[in-house]
Amino acid sequence: MIERLVVAIGGNATHPENIRGTTEEQEQIAARAARALRPLAETVPELVITHGNGPVVGKILLSQYYAREHIAPMRLDVCVAHSQGGIGHLLMQGLEDELARAESGRRVACIITRVVVDADDEAFATGTKPVGPFFSEAEAAELHRTLGWNMMEDAGRGWRYGVPSPRPRRILELDLIAGLAKQGVAVIAAGGGGIPMVLRADGSYGGVPAVIDKDLTSALLATGLGVDALLILTAVPHVALHYRKPQQRELETVTAAELDGYRREGHFAEGSMGPKVKAALRFLARGGKRAVIAHLDQAADALAGKAGTQIVPG
């Protein structure tokens, strides 16, 4: 039996590309995620859920652009905090509704989570993390010309805004997350990879304009909590080699060494499966027993070893 589990939900699993993004649509998507998570919430004593925010934080940035003549824009770390609260609220309500239908008294809590990064991380010199909606090449060129945005092609699906993505080093709310989880509360935390913070000279922390990859933060969180497994849920059923090519091959059970070999061969795009694979490998390298990458709708079967890509040490 799994006693402690971190579940990471992809940004496109909570805000897929094919919706306008209305509150009603987001509520429906959150309810769907909650239905998939309900079996885990009913059986895993210590459960922590993380989520992406790529589509949402990008829309916040676009909204600020269109309102720039009337409202002062927020720094990117504050935009991440806004997305944490909004997405966390919808997931929390959806999961509590599902648990209530099952007549479960389990509570759900959302913790606004800050994550420390290095001030001199080389990522601040580039913009490699894609956020927001997809654009055509012509639209991307116009955004670069008018806004100065660093636009990048993302996994063959279009162009997106690329922002700095430093490596997560420490989760400031780790003790609070662990304490609530041990009390049996299902905890939603580290949304969007966490709010990026740096340590100042006076010993305080300050936010910086960046977006941390939520899969890498999820791996760091899973290690810090000492969980039994890391379950990464996304919009595809397996990790695949030669993705979207005629020779595509899905992986079912694979060792960390085998998966790392495939990664080094360039099989996993940075804007797609790449961060998930890196997160799984980091978790296992730090003593994790099992990592799973699977479709959101198959969460329970994936945890039981009946679906998804099962990644084991070795």
- Number of neighbouring beta carbons within 10 Å of residue 289: 13
Order of strands, sheet of 253-255, starting from the edge strand that comes earlier in the sequence? 108-111, 186-189, 46-51, 4-9, 229-234, 291-295, 309-312, 253-255
H/E segment holding residue 42: helix 23-43
Q: Which of 52, 53, 192, 214 is catalytic?
A: 214
- Kindly calculate the radius of gyration of the chain based on its CA atoms and give it in whole angstroms: 19
Per the residue annotation, which of 162, 276, 278, 308 is the catalytic one? 276
Catalytic option among 10, 11, 132, 162: 11
How far from chain centre, in Å, is Cα 221?
12
Give how far Cα 292 sits from Cα of 17, 129, 186, 245, 255, Å: 24, 23, 20, 23, 11
Taking alpha carbons only, the member of 297, 303, 298, 171 closest to residue 229 is 303
Phi, psi values for residue 255, rounded to 5°? -80, 160
∠ CA 115-278-232, nearest 5°, is 80
11 is catalytic: yes
- 71: which 2 tokens? 């409202």
Given 12, 158, 224, 274, which residue is catalytic? 12
214 annotated active-site:
yes
Name 105's Cβ contacts closer than 8 Å, sequence gap at least 6.
Answer: 99
> Cα–Cα distance between 299 and 7 in angstroms, integer?
9
276 is catalytic: yes
Strand 129-135 vs strand 159-163: parallel, antiparallel, or unpaired? Answer: antiparallel
Considering 127, 129, 191, 308, which one is annotated as catalytic? Answer: 129
Instruction: Give catalytic status of residue 53 as yes or no.
Output: no
Q: For this structure, is 306 an active site residue?
A: no
Helix (H) or strand (E) holding 291: strand 291-295
Dihedral angle computed from the Cα positions of residues 2, 51, 81 and 65, in that order, rounded to the nearest 10 degrees: 180
Catalytic residues: 11-12, 129, 214, 276
